[in-house]
Amino acid sequence: MTTPKIFAKNPVPVELEAGKTYAWCACGLSDNQPWCNGAHQGTGLSPKVFKAEETKTAYMCQCKATNNLGMCDGTHNSI
C-alpha cells in the first residue's frame, strides 16, 4: 500500500495539549481517527509523530493528503 485510504473528506477538530506527543494516522486505516492505532503495520506507511507546541484546537486531516504534518491544509477540497 503506497497510497493512504481516504477516511473522510473533512477535517476533525481535536484539542491538542502543549508538550504532548501525538501520532497522526497517515494510512487511513486506524479506527481511532485521526490518531494511529498501529493498523498501518505492513502497509509501508508510518504515522506522523509530532509534539504540540501549544494547547489549542487543531483541525486534523482525515483525507490523508495534507502536506502539513497531519493538520488540514484544505487539500480535501480538490480530491
Mean pLDDT, rounded, for 48-75:
95
Torsion of CA 32, 62, 26, 13, to 10 degrees: -70
pTM for this one?
A: 0.92
Q: How far apart are the two ends of the chain, measured CA to CA in Å?
A: 19
pLDDT tens digit sequence for 13-59: 999 999 999 999 999 999 999 999 999 999 999 999 999 999 999 99
2's grid cell: 503506497
